[in-house]
Each structure stands twice: as structure tokens, then as C-alpha cells.
Amino acid sequence: MERQKVRGIFPGILVLFILFSGLTGCRQQAEKPQVKETGGVSQVINPAHPLKGTIQVEAEKTFELNPYKVPDFNLKYFWCLRDNQQIILYDPNEPAAKIFSTDGAYLGSFIGVGQGPGEFLSYTGFWLDFEGDEIWGVGNMKVARFDRRGQLLGEFKIPDLPAYFLRPDCYLTDLTVMENNRRVKKLLLKKIDQNETTAATVELLKGPELGMIRWSDRAGGFSESYGTDDIIWSMNKAEARIAVALKSNYQLKIFDQAGRKVMVIEIPAERVSISNEDKEKLLQAVFGMRKGPEETVKKMLAVYPDQLMMMLHLSYLPGQPAAPSGWPEFCYNLLL
């Protein structure tokens, strides 16, 4: 299962779609990417001016699940985990999970709030994932293993929060440290051995002052998606690949499960400049509902960057095999 930013599902009917898209109305000839080898790593340089056109999307409803028809379904907010065997709806804040078959039949519940075996505390970064024929619950610096019926198989401790498993023996995590009086955020790939202890750590990407726009006159700062630089990533568990990038730089680095860089994908591009007037409109839209918005926005304007980020999100396309060239296929939110 690919992992990147699992979507929250709000109360209502869960509808899964298969999307079919076609590209029409293209008026320019596509430039070809340049590919070169650098130290044994494929470096793909895509054209600065990609093909433009009109995308027509048709959607066909293939499945519908209304969990609120289940008598004991009491989740007010939930995420969805799905593969070809099961559908699991779970609350990441107040850990609880409901299992359904792929045809919508309710199979039962598991996971609870607490500190006992198979339980997790509230608001501790809890999430679920499939590992082969098992369901893994991760949060509060531990991993609980369940079978497909929700029966607890065992659990083990990990030294990190958060932790996103690429394979049963390796996971992604991030941490922020102080280097030369600057906050440096790092994305790490950690390997664990048969004793479930850390055997190796590989640094995939790092950068200073990520995830926050700092105040100029005091400690701390604020975060806002369009102007805050940060590390974004996506993993493809089927092919054991991890794509990572900085939001401010259109350069994707692809790593394998050992942490070896296998490909670099980039586009020559410049960040979009933004006027003070547009900054104010943007910040008002994001923070305007807070107490004392005018004074708050005024302080934010003084430190908000003059250019927007290049990317907002990064995700492997679900269910897509690699292209004939061997290149991965991604979905981007771009601000070019």
C-alpha cells in the first residue's frame, strides 16, 4: 500500500471512485526529458515548460459503504485503510477501528484507548497500516501487530514518533535538532533487526528552519502551507521506494529500502513571487478567524517570504506500475 498523507473521512457515506482521465486540446509539442547518469544514479531533468492542455475527468461509482448503518459505529471522524481484502475505518485521535469486507460486510472492531496490550493513548500519532496478512497499529512509540480479524499477535517498542513502515524491518521518521544555533529537520530511514532494536540509520534529507516561519523579534513562529518550507515525501511499499523533496525546490530524490539513492527527478523552475497585498489576503484567509486577526496578520507579514513554495504535496499514484522506462509516476500539487 502506498503511504502519504492518508485522507480524513468525515461523517457521511464513503464512496470509492475509479477515475479515468484523458488529455485533450494540447497545442504544443512536448519537450523530451533529459536523462544522465551521475555516480550510477539516473538523473531525470524534465522540461521547464511541460505540456499544457485540457483534462476531462469522468467518474464512475464502483462501491458504496455507509458505516452509520452499523449499530455500534460511533466514530465521528475517521480515516480509511483499504486493500484487496479489507476496509478499515479508524479514528487516529481517539484510537478505535472498525473492520469491513471489500463487499461492505461489517466484521467487527478492535483497538482501544489505554496503555494495555494493543491499546494506544489519545493524540499520540496513532495510525494503522497493512503488513502482509497482518494489521499494524503504530503510535505512542510502539507497534501492535494484529491478525486480519483484529486479534492481537504481539507488540514491540520503537524509539521514534512518528514512524511510517516501508517494510517490517525499516521505517521513516523525522526529528529536529539544533546545529550551529539553527533548527535542522531531518528525514531518517531506520532499520531494525530481529531483536526489534535499531540496527542502522540513513539520513535521506535535511534542511534548516523547516516547518516554521520564524518570528524576527522572539522565539517560535508559525506555519502556513503556501509559504512554509518543509520536507514532503511519499512511499511505494509495493516497490520499496521512497520519494522525498523540499517544498521550495523541484528536485525529487528516490531511495530504495536500504537508503540508497536510485534516481533524481527535477525541473528547472523558479518560485512564484507574491506581493504584500496578496500575502495579506492569503494570511487573512488562513488566520482571519483567530482572535485579534489584524494585529496577528501584521506581524506575520513582516516575516512572510516573498516567494511561494513550488510544491504542496507529493504522492505516488495509487495502483500505478512503473512506466516502461522504469520511471515512477507521481501526483503533485504545484505552485509554479
* pLDDT tens string 38-57: 777 888 888 877 667 777 87
Q: What is the pLDDT at residue 16?
A: 40
Would 123 be classed as within a structural domain? yes
As a whole number of angstroms, the distance between CA 212 and CA 300 comes to 12
- The whole-number average pLDDT for the span 115-134 is 94
φ/ψ of 83, rounded to 5, equals -140, -165
Question: Quick one: pLDDT band at residue 207, thresholds 50, 70, 90?
Answer: very high
- The whole-number average pLDDT for the span 214-220 is 87
Q: What is the pLDDT at residue 110?
A: 95
Contact 227, 216 (CB under 8 A): no
Least confident residue range of 87-101, 161-175, 268-282, 322-336: 322-336
Q: Are residues 214 and 331 in the same domain?
A: yes
Q: What is the pLDDT at residue 321?
A: 44
Q: Are residues 245 and 331 in the same domain?
A: yes
Q: Are residues 147 and 266 in the same domain?
A: no
Q: Are residues 186 and 253 in the same domain?
A: yes
- The whole-number average pLDDT for the span 183-200 is 87
Would 318 be classed as within a structural domain? yes
Q: Are residues 131 and 167 in the same domain?
A: no
The range of the structural domain enclosing residue 136 comes to: 77-157
- Length, in residues, of the chain: 336
Q: Are residues 170 and 109 in the same domain?
A: no
Among 108, 127, 157, identify where a domain stops.
157
Question: Quick one: pLDDT band at residue 333, thresholds 50, 70, 90?
Answer: low
Burial of 132 (0-12, 13-18, 19+ CB in 10 A): exposed
Would 98 be classed as within a structural domain? yes
Q: What is the pLDDT at residue 328?
A: 54
Q: Are residues 196 and 330 in the same domain?
A: yes
Would 263 be classed as within a structural domain? yes
As a whole number of angstroms, the distance between CA 170 and CA 304 comes to 37
Q: Are residues 126 and 183 in the same domain?
A: no
Domains of the chain: total: 2
Contact 195, 234 (CB under 8 A): no
Neighbour-count burial for 240-259, b at 16+ CB within 10 Å, e otherwise: ebbbbbbbbebbbbbbebeb
Question: Quick one: pLDDT band at residue 332, thresholds 50, 70, 90?
Answer: low
As a whole number of angstroms, the distance between CA 6 and CA 11 comes to 16
Q: What is the pLDDT at residue 71?
A: 87
Would 118 be classed as within a structural domain? yes
User: Which comes out higher in pLDDT, residue 164 or 216?
Assistant: 164
pLDDT tens-digit readout, 239-276: 999 999 999 998 999 999 999 999 999 988 889 899 99
For residue 89, the surrounding DSSP H or E stretch is: strand 86-91
Least confident residue range of 120-124, 134-138, 257-261, 315-319: 315-319
Of all residues in the chain, the percent with pLDDT exceeding 90 is 54
Among 136, 157, 178, identify where a domain stops.
157
Question: Quick one: pLDDT band at residue 21, thresholds 50, 70, 90?
Answer: very low
As a whole number of angstroms, the distance between CA 151 and CA 141 comes to 20
Among 115, 141, 157, identify where a domain stops.
157
Would 242 be classed as within a structural domain? yes
